[in-house]
Amino acid sequence: MIRVDTIWKYFEGTPVLRDVSLDFEQGKTNLIIGRSGSGKTVLMKCLVGLLEADKGKIYYDKHDFSAMSFRQRRVIRKELGMLFQGSALFDSLTVEENITFPLNMFTTMTPGEKRKRVDFCLDRVNLGAVHGLYPSELSGGMKKRAAIARAISIKPKYLFCDEPNSGLDPPTGILIDKLIS
């Protein structure tokens, strides 16, 4: 379970998140809906530690994520998958290298085990033959699917998705929804 307890986030003195409290139960799909600029992405970035809340607490299964050091958060980050709004693939890395990136950071898998995991994740998102391609060689829908493959590569307990269907045609958006669920 993730608990958000009265968090605030300011940018240049302006509050973007104001007294936000939420509970996300394990095993459930939770949606954060709001108009553009309402702080959805800021909230998600606070949840995964890419931004620090200025006030309040974030808990992962009773562990105070807000009070943890960068090093201590590594234990929690091993359980987090993140699909960014713009896919956020590394342009200078191939699709395979992008998917291997979190495996290198958070696992002790052998190179062979990593290759098998990459193959599994790419097959799961119907991208079996793009290992050596770079993000610039992929369509928008393919980039989203490659980003999903990267997000699930470490078998996360929690999967965060920031506007996973933005900019996609309806059939591809439906495919992305099915892949995420």
Q: How far apart are CA 15 and CA 54, in angstroms?
A: 10
Find the angle CA(98)-CA(102)-CA(104) to the nearest 5 degrees: 100
Q: Which of 77, 108, 133 is the last residue of a domain?
A: 77
Residue-wise pLDDT tens digits, 60-92: 998 999 999 988 998 898 888 888 877 789 999
The tokens 């119907």 sit on which residue? 126
Q: Is the pTM of this model over 0.75?
A: yes
* Token representation of residue 23: 């509970």
Whether 87 and 70 map to the same domain: the answer is no
Are 83 and 151 a contacting pair, CB within 8 Å? yes
Q: Which amino acid is at 24?
A: F
Residue-wise pLDDT tens digits, 113-145: 999 999 999 988 888 889 999 999 998 888 888
Whether 70 and 84 map to the same domain: the answer is no
Q: How far apart are CA 87 and CA 128, in angstroms?
A: 18
Q: How many domains does the chain have?
A: 2
Whether 164 and 176 map to the same domain: the answer is yes
Whether 129 and 51 map to the same domain: the answer is no
State the residue range of the domain holding 94: 78-181
Contacts (Cβ under 8 Å, ≥6 apart) of 153: 81, 99, 100, 102, 103, 117, 118, 121
Q: Which of 23, 52, 77 is the last residue of a domain?
A: 77
